[in-house]
């Protein structure tokens, strides 16, 4: 760390699951934090857990779940570090009731490149900047968070198909107070009357009395399947569209889709296949995730989906989630009360970049913003419009730290 300076800034990195360049520091040094993988304390009576920044969420879960606790909220992949969860203020399917990860952080340790060490708590301006602060305010050394009680490690889940976007919003309103976890898969290729058709998944922790054996059921430390190699480009669309249609039609015919499921397949669909990104072949893909505020959401999401469907560049599945009114802590936190749309675009060069900048315009006009953790291309103006407090954040940045993302958007 003492080799980092404003002239040669570094960046702390974790399990490298960010999609874009917020976790990259081209031309500079990075500090691999995954060696700091010790839990520091876990109080089984209060659910307060403290761990070093390099501990993965999946490692936290291994201690939490058998003791009847769970992460306050979690992204769709558990192979991310605590430091990364804070730096990106990650959110999950339970945003309505839980907010984002930063809402549950009680304290954190931060080391600045000038040697200062801070023990930060909510309310401290440096704490506020560090939540969602993309690792730029100092190196996060440890994180203490409040876990939530779970009655079992199983979920009562229900899948409900919706025929268009209006039905999605109606369902969201209808279920927002009764479903703790909610997210929808949307057909990114449907047009016309079917625009925005998809499947909504809702789930609540199951309080059914499960036996101990079931409680500790599947162990999935390492993903079960691996993408053995990059898939050839032609595979994606023909294969995946069919897959979606099959899922969708299957669901329609079994409308009363209530089921009991272990939390892993529901909350961590991406953990099942490691290196799943190779599905997109050597040219890779862009992930695009936007959020737009509630007042403009219906229109803005419709416009985005229309544009994507017309371009025929989107992958077959988009994810739609409604985000609740709990305010995020961080100056650069992504979540806001509204609707978030996430989608992969196979990299087809200029066409793909053009599509995304067209989408940017819709998001910007709707008063929304893009998720830095998933971005590798947004312009400085797009970033600054989405995060109007960014100058307050800039004042807290550690001059010895930087990233490719930050150099681009703070220009």
Partner 1 sequence: MTQVRASQAGTTTAADAPSNRVVILGALSAIAMATARIYAAEGAALILVARHSDRLAAAAADLRARGAARVETVTLDLESGAAESASHVSDWASMLGGVDHFHVVYGYLGDQNALPGNPAELARILSVNFTSAALWCSAAGEYLRERKRGSVVAVSSVAGDRGRQSNYAYGAAKGGLALFMQGLAHSLAPSGARAVAMKLGFVDTPMTADIEKKGALWASPDQVGMAIRRAASRGGPIQYAPGMWRLIMLVIRSVPSAVFHRTRL
CB of 3 to partner 1, least distance (A): 18
DSSP secondary structure code for residue 56 in this structure: B
CB of 40 to partner 1, least distance (A): 6
Rounded Cα distance, 338 and 351, in Å = 28
Give the β-pairing of 148-149 and 69-70: antiparallel
Stretch that binds partner 1, among 63-71, 123-131, 141-149, 235-243 (CB under 8 A): 63-71
Residues 67-106 that bind partner 1 (CB under 8 A): 67
* Residue of the chain from 29, 38, 312, 361 that contacts partner 1 (CB under 8 A): 38
* Residue of the chain from 1, 16, 24, 42 that contacts partner 1 (CB under 8 A): 42
x-or-dash string of contact with partner 1, 195-224, rule CB under 8 A: ---------------------x--x-xx-x
393 burial (CB, 10 Å; 0-12 / 13-18 / 19+) is: buried
Rounded Cα distance, 220 and 79, in Å = 11
CB of 227 to partner 1, least distance (A): 15
Question: Two tokens at 96?
Answer: 């309505």
Rounded Cα distance, 83 and 144, in Å = 10
CB of 275 to partner 1, least distance (A): 14
Residue 312 touching partner 1 (CB under 8 A): no
CB count within 10 Å of CB 166 equals 13
CB of 285 to partner 1, least distance (A): 26
x-or-dash string of contact with partner 1, 223-252, rule CB under 8 A: -x----------------------------
Q: Mapping DSSP to helix (H, G, I), strand (E, B) and coil, where does residue 310 land?
A: helix
CB of 48 to partner 1, least distance (A): 11
* H or E element at residue 318: strand 317-323
* Residue of the chain from 27, 29, 41, 325 that contacts partner 1 (CB under 8 A): 41
Instruction: Tell me the number of residues near partner 1 by CB under 8 A.
Output: 16
Residue 276 touching partner 1 (CB under 8 A): no
CB of 54 to partner 1, least distance (A): 12
Backbone angles phi, psi at 20, to 5 degrees: -110, -135
Residue 39 touching partner 1 (CB under 8 A): yes
DSSP E strands: which ranges in 112-179?
Answer: 117-120, 139-146, 148-149, 154-162
Residue 49 touching partner 1 (CB under 8 A): yes
CB of 42 to partner 1, least distance (A): 4
Rounded Cα distance, 257 and 259, in Å = 6
First to last CA, the chain: 25
CB of 264 to partner 1, least distance (A): 13
Stretch that binds partner 1, among 61-69, 117-125, 183-191, 198-206 (CB under 8 A): 61-69
DSSP secondary structure code for residue 354 in this structure: H
Stretch that binds partner 1, among 11-19, 32-40, 138-146, 360-368 (CB under 8 A): 32-40
Give the residues across from 319 on adjacent strands: 185, 342
Residue 40 touching partner 1 (CB under 8 A): yes
Residue 273 touching partner 1 (CB under 8 A): no
CB 82 within 8 A of CB 42: no
Give the β-pairing of 29-32 and 39-43: unpaired
Nearer to partner 1, 151 or 218 (CB): 218
Sign of the torsion angle spanned by Cα atoms 174, 179, 183, 185: negative
- Contacting residues toward partner 1, per CB under 8 A: 38-42, 49, 51, 62-63, 66-67, 216, 219, 221-222, 224
């Amino acid at each position: 760390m003492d080799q980092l300076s404003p002239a040669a800034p570094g960046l702390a990195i974790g399990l490298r699951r960010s999609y874009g360049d917020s976790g990259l520091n081209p031309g500079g040094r990075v500090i691999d934090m995954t060696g700091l993988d010790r839990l520091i304390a876990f109080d089984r009576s209060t659910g307060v857990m403290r761990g070093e920044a390099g501990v993965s969420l999946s490692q936290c879960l291994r201690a939490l779940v058998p003791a009847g606790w769970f992460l306050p909220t979690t992204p769709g992949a558990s192979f991310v570090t605590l430091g990364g969860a804070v730096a990106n203020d990650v959110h999950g399917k339970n945003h309505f009731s839980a907010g984002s990860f930063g809402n549950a952080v009680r304290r954190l340790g931060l080391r600045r490149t000038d040697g200062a060490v801070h023990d930060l708590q909510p309310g401290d301006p440096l704490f506020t900047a560090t939540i969602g602060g993309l690792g730029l305010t100092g190196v996060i050394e440890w994180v203490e968070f409040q876990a939530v009680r779970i009655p079992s490690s199983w979920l009562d889940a229900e899948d409900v198909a919706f025929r268009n976007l209006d039905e999605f919003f109606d369902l969201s309103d209808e279920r927002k107070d009764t479903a703790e976890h909610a997210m929808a898969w949307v057909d990114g290729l449907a047009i016309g009357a079917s625009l925005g058709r998809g499947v909504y998944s809702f789930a609540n922790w199951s309080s059914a009395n499960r036996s101990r054996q079931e409680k500790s059921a599947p162990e999935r430390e390492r993903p079960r399947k691996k993408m053995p190699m990059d898939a050839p480009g032609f595979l994606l669309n023909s294969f995946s569209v069919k897959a979606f249609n099959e899922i969708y039609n299957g669901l329609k015919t079994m409308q009363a889709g209530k089921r009991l499921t272990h939390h892993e397949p529901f909350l961590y669909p991406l953990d099942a296949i490691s290196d799943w990104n190779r599905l997109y072949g050597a040219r890779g893909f862009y992930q695009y995730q936007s959020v737009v505020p509630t007042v403009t959401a219906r229109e803005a999401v419709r416009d985005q989906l229309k544009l994507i469907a017309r371009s025929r560049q989107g992958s077959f599945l988009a994810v739609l989630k409604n985000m609740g009114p709990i305010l995020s802590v961080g100056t650069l936190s992504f979540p806001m009360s509204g609707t978030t749309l996430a989608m992969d675009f196979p990299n087809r060069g200029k066409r793909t970049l053009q599509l995304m900048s067209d989408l940017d315009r819709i998001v910007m006009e709707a008063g929304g913003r893009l998720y830095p953790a998933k971005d590798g291309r947004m312009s400085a103006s797009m970033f600054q419009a989405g995060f109007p407090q960014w100058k307050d954040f800039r004042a807290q940045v550690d001059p010895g730290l930087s990233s490719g993302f930050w150099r681009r958007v703070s220009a």
